[in-house]
């Protein structure tokens, strides 16, 4: 058995791609447009997994956009996606500068949480050991839920 992907339904594909790709830094691997089925699937991966994902050997996130509007609720009951990052402070700064709320700042230099436009929790974990605590993160409070 091997892990293939996690599917997340999105209401606004452009907003989702802006969050996952432009802000979080994931890469689009492939897209399936199915007008007859009234949906589009977009498969994303972490940059370090791009070659393996293209070969079908790395886990991905599948964004599912259904053409007919639906009200998706309860993103929190999904749990969360987790990504290892080279520099947790740089990743959070990039997201913050892009207008993303850092729900659980990386006060410990190791872990942070943000949410997608659909309310899916995204955990960011520092690669290797934790970084030394640093401002503005060390004194930043939690915001909302994560």
8-64 confidence digits (pLDDT tens): 989 899 999 999 999 999 999 999 999 999 999 999 999 999 999 999 889 999 999
Q: Is residue 88 part of a domain?
A: yes
Query: Of 40, 66, 92, which residue sits at a domain end?
Result: 66
Say whether both 13 and 55 belong to one domain: yes
List, for residues 58-87, the tens digit of each pLDDT value. Answer: 999 999 999 998 877 766 556 688 899 999
Residue 74 CA: distances (Å) to CA of 63, 68, 80, 115, 118: 16, 19, 12, 12, 9
Separation CA 52–CA 28 (nearest Å): 13
Query: Of 66, 96, 117, which residue sits at a domain end?
Result: 66
pLDDT of residue 75: 64
Say whether both 39 and 10 belong to one domain: yes
For this structure, is 123 an active site residue? yes
pLDDT of residue 1: 56
Which residue out of 97, 118, 123, 135 is catalytically annotated? Answer: 123
Query: Of 14, 33, 66, which residue sits at a domain end?
Result: 66
Q: Is residue 59 part of a domain?
A: yes
- Residue range(s) defining the domain that contains residue 32: 5-66
Let me know the angle formed at the C-alpha of 54 by 35 and 8, rounded to the nearest 5 degrees. Answer: 50
Q: Is residue 115 part of a domain?
A: yes
Tally of domains within the chain: 2
Separation CA 44–CA 51 (nearest Å): 12
The CATH number for 27's domain is 3.10.180.10
Burial label for 60, CB within 10 Å (0-12, 13-18, 19+), is buried
Rounded to two decimals, what is the model's pTM? 0.77
* Structure tokens belonging to residue 129: 């050991």
**Lowest-confidence pick of 1-5, 12-16, 87-91, 107-111:** 1-5
Say whether both 47 and 91 belong to one domain: no
pLDDT of residue 118: 84
Q: Is residue 144 part of a domain?
A: no
Q: Is residue 145 part of a domain?
A: no
Say whether both 49 and 27 belong to one domain: yes
Separation CA 67–CA 65 (nearest Å): 6
Q: Which residues pair with 115 in a beta bridge?
A: 121
């Amino acid at each position: 058995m091997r892990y293939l992907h996690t599917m997340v339904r999105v209401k606004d594909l452009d907003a989702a791609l802006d969050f996952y790709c432009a802000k979080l830094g994931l890469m689009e691997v492939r897209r399936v447009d199915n007008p007859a089925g009234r949906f589009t699937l977009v498969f994303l991966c972490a940059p370090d997994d791009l070659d393996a994902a293209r070969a079908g050997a790395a886990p991905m996130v599948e964004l599912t956009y259904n053409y007919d509007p639906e009200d998706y609720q309860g993103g929190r009951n999904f749990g969360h996606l987790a990504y290892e990052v080279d520099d947790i402070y740089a990743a959070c700064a990039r997201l913050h500068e892009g207008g993303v709320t850092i729900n659980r700042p990386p006060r410990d230099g190791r872990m942070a949480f943000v949410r997608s436009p659909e309310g899916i929790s995204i955990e960011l974990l520092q690669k290797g050991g934790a970084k030394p605590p640093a401002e503005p993160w060390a004194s930043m409070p939690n915001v909302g839920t994560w």
